[in-house]
Amino acid sequence: MIELTDVHKSFGTNHVLRGVNLSVPKGESMVVIGGSGTGKSILIKSILGLVTPESGTITLDGRDVNQGDRDAFLARFGMLFQGAALFDSLPVWQNVAFRLLRGSLKKPKSEAREIAVEKLRRVGLTADVADRLPAELSGGMQKRVGLARAIAAEPEIIFFDEPTTGLDPIMAGVINDLIREIVTEMGATAITITHDMTSVRAIADKIAMLHAGKIRWTGPVADMDASTDPYVDQFIHGRAEGPIEAVR
């Protein structure tokens, strides 16, 4: 279980997280929604240690994420970045197998390549993509390669940061379905950051809404439409009028 308690983070005078409390049980797919600039990405980067909160605690299975063996901790995670964040200088298969080619999970090159090709196939890409460079792929293909990299080492926990941003509706649907299938078949715990409501409905078991640096509302996806919270109501229906200011 991932648990955040009273997490605060500022950048200069911009107080992004103002006491976030959130629990994500093992095997659950949690989707964090909220407007642009509300600190959703900072939230998952804080869990991974990419950003250091000023105060509060973040634990994984009861242990503080900042203590203990960092490599062993990170080996439990996979992450799909908003822009895929593929390494330009490496061919696609080496991007996917990056973790399998070095460090504690290192495997022989041929075996790592086999796994990479298998993961590419899992996300709907053919083996001939393996030797291309990321710059030769479309945005949707890059996202799928990023997804293949996130699952290559079969992590227990996967984070998805804006998985469908910049994709056409069909490709966004493909990515949403893939995420749902992969999370279900791997039994992984997932946290997805998005403001795409189609993704929310496709991916989520549970939803948390981040607003003004705090978790405003949390509940099962089935309860979202029935929520009486005016912030949630405005957000999920995409209304300009409501308690959330349109000009931020």
Partner 1 sequence: MSTLLASVGAAVLGFLAAIGRLALFTGQTISHLVRPPFYGREFGNALLQIGYFSLPVVGLTAFFTGGALALQIYSGGARFSAEAVVPQIVAIGMVRELGPVLVGLMIAARVTSSIAAEIATMKVTEQIDALVTLSTHPMKYLTLPRVLAATLVMPLLVGVGDIIGIYGGFIVGTERLGFNAAAYLQNTADFLEPLDIISSLVKGAVFGFIAALMGCYYGMNSDRGAMGVGRATKSSVVAAAILILTANFLLTEAFFSA
Rounded least distance, CB 238 to partner 1, Å:
27
- Which neighbouring-strand residues pair with 58? 4
Rounded least distance, CB 90 to partner 1, Å:
10
Nearer to partner 1, 38 or 94 (CB): 94
Rounded least distance, CB 163 to partner 1, Å:
14
Rounded least distance, CB 230 to partner 1, Å:
33
DSSP characters over the chain = -EEEEEEEEEETTEEEEEEEEEEE-TT-EEEEE--TTSSHHHHHHHHHTSS--SEEEEEETTEETTSS-HHHHHTTEEEE-TT----TTS-HHHHHTGGGSSGGG---HHHHHHHHHHHHHHTT--GGGTTS-GGGS-HHHHHHHHHHHHHTT--SEEEEESTTTT--HHHHHHHHHHHHHHHHHHT-EEEEE---HHHHHHH-SEEEEEETTEEEEEEEHHHHTT---HHHHHHHHT-SSSSS-S--
Nearer to partner 1, 84 or 183 (CB): 84
Contacts to partner 1 by CB under 8 A: 45, 48-50, 70-71, 74-75, 77-79, 81-83, 85-88, 98-99, 102-105, 149
Rounded least distance, CB 122 to partner 1, Å:
18
Rounded least distance, CB 87 to partner 1, Å:
6
Nearer to partner 1, 131 or 225 (CB): 131
CB of 131 closer than 8 Å to CB of 166? no
Q: Measuring CA to CA, which residue among 98, 83, 92 is closest to residue 161?
A: 83
Nearer to partner 1, 47 or 224 (CB): 47
Q: Which is it for strands 206-211 and 189-193: parallel, antiparallel or unpaired?
A: unpaired
Nearer to partner 1, 34 or 78 (CB): 78
Rounded least distance, CB 169 to partner 1, Å:
24
Classify the phi-psi angles of 118: left when phi > 0, otherwise alpha if psi is within -120 to 50, otherwise beta. alpha
